């Protein structure tokens, strides 16, 4: 039996989409434990998070709350306290963090869709590791009422799904402004030049060019600075939210050490990160005036082997290509790819607030690639 759910439940009608909920999102009557032994005695939530209310009102059936990397502050998905969800499709690889259980629940068919949260890639990374779709909406577009931590300038509630159709159905439920649309016009893709494993970079380039649409190489000069700034902001905000729990002695070793380092994040560092946030956002916006979407790998390398992670290895650089778009707030989608039996992802980034346009572009890209492959 895979360690996917912290607690199973059967909320909602017997029929309807089965939904799994990351255990950083409140469900009335169930404790929100954040994947931590420090929250073992937490009282049950007294109300549903707004996104949960919307799902239940739409006739979805909640099947359980899912395991996560403790405090949503890790990229591997390893959790000694609650158990580590086993990557269903790539069992020798990590499930990815922090929304590990949500990604696994969809990959394993335990849920039709799942909710996670994405502060520095925590939906898109596990989606790639587990071979499913993962979407981070524009920052602030989907309600975070009832989601932990309460105060953040990075975190978004995002959706996992096995395909774009179900992902868009879910997005239309949790985002009242979201209306699926048909793609119109020509698809122009800016292929962002990044430092990535050659096999992954080549596969991404081949995929987008197979579509036959206009593809041009582009640069984001502040990309690396945005990654570092994103780390600075998440360190400051996570320390503020969870630093006090170090005193319990119940925080896992990897997260405790990272929190201790985060405590040294000073106001000047945060101020510098905010300057990078604005400048990088402007760079992304400028490119998206010329292109329908930006494309790049979701992860710069293949996910860690599970045995390596269980032995204590971690790699924050695995979020190098996703974290910058948390800082800028742009919507971003990860499309699963398989490269010689190893998981990878194609990340598409769209304009602020234009989430439906981004997903319609993804549908069009998939259609064009499928048509080309069929004709070949």
Q: Which one is catalytic: 76, 98, 318, 334?
A: 98
Distance between CA 83 and CA 68 in Å, rounded? 9
The angle formed by the CA atoms of residues 290, 292 and 297, to the nearest 5 degrees, is: 105
The angle formed by the CA atoms of residues 360, 187 and 288, to the nearest 5 degrees, is: 85
Quick check: is 105 catalytic?
no
Q: Which one is catalytic: 24, 100, 122, 318?
A: 122
CA neighbor of 301 nearest in space, from 273, 274, 320: 320
Strand ranges of the sheet holding 332-339, from the earlier edge strand across to the other edge:
5-11, 61-66, 18-22, 113-118, 156-161, 133-136, 332-339, 342-349, 293-297, 188-192, 214-218
Axis crossing angle, helix 164-174 with helix 355-375, rounded to the nearest 10: 170
Compute how many other C-beta atoms are within 10 angstroms of the C-beta atom of residue 42: 13
**What CA–CA distances, in Å, run from 256 to 149, 223, 310?**
17, 28, 16
Would residue 353 be called left, alpha or beta, if left means φ above 0 and alpha means ψ between -120 and 50 degrees?
A: left
Q: Which one is catalytic: 22, 65, 102, 281?
A: 22
End-to-end C-alpha distance for the chain, whole angstroms: 42
Distance between CA 361 and CA 45 in Å, rounded? 38
Determine contact, residues 261/235, Cβ cutoff 8 Å: yes
Quick check: is 99 catalytic?
no
Quick check: is 122 catalytic?
yes
Residues known to be catalytic: 22, 98, 122
């Amino acid at each position: 039996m895979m360690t996917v759910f912290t607690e199973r439940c059967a909320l909602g009608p017997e029929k309807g989409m089965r939904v799994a909920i990351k255990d950083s999102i409140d469900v009335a009557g169930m404790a929100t434990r954040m994947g931590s032994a420090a929250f073992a005695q937490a009282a049950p939530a007294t109300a549903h998070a707004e996104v949960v209310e919307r799902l239940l009102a739409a006739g979805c059936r909640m099947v359980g709350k899912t395991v996560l990397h403790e405090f949503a502050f890790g990229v591997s998905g390893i959790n000694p306290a609650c158990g580590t969800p086993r990557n269903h499709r790539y069992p020798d690889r990590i499930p990815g963090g922090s929304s590990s259980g949500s990604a696994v629940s969809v990959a394993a068919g335990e849920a039709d869709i799942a909710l996670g949260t994405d502060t520095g890639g925590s939906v898109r990374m596990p989606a790639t590791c587990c071979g499913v779709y993962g979407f981070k909406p524009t920052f602030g577009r989907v309600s975070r009422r009832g989601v932990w931590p309460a105060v953040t300038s990075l975190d978004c509630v995002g959706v996992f799904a096995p395909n774009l159709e179900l992902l868009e159905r879910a997005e239309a439920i949790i985002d009242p402004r979201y209306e699926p649309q048909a793609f119109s016009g020509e698809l122009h893709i800016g292929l962002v030049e990044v430092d990535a494993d050659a096999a992954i970079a080549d596969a991404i380039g081949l995929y987008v060019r197979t579509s036959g649409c206009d593809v041009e190489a582009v640069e984001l000069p502040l990309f690396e600075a945005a990654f570092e700034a994103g780390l600075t902001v998440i360190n400051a905000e996570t320390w503020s939210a969870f630093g006090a729990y170090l005193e319990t002695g119940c925080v896992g070793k990897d997260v405790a050490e990272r929190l201790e380092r985060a405590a040294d994040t000073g106001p000047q560092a945060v101020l510098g990160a905010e300057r990078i946030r604005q400048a990088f956002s402007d760079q992304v916006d400028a490119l998206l005036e010329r292109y329908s979407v930006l494309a790049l790998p979701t992860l710069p390398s293949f996910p860690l082997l599970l045995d390596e992670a269980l032995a204590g290895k971690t790699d924050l650089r695995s979020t190098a290509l996703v974290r910058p778009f948390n800082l800028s707030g742009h919507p971003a989608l990860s499309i699963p790819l398989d490269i010689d039996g190893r998981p990878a992802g194609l990340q598409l980034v769209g304009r602020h607030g234009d989430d439906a346009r981004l997903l319609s572009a993804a549908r069009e890209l998939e259609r064009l690639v499928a048509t080309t492959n069929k004709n070949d």
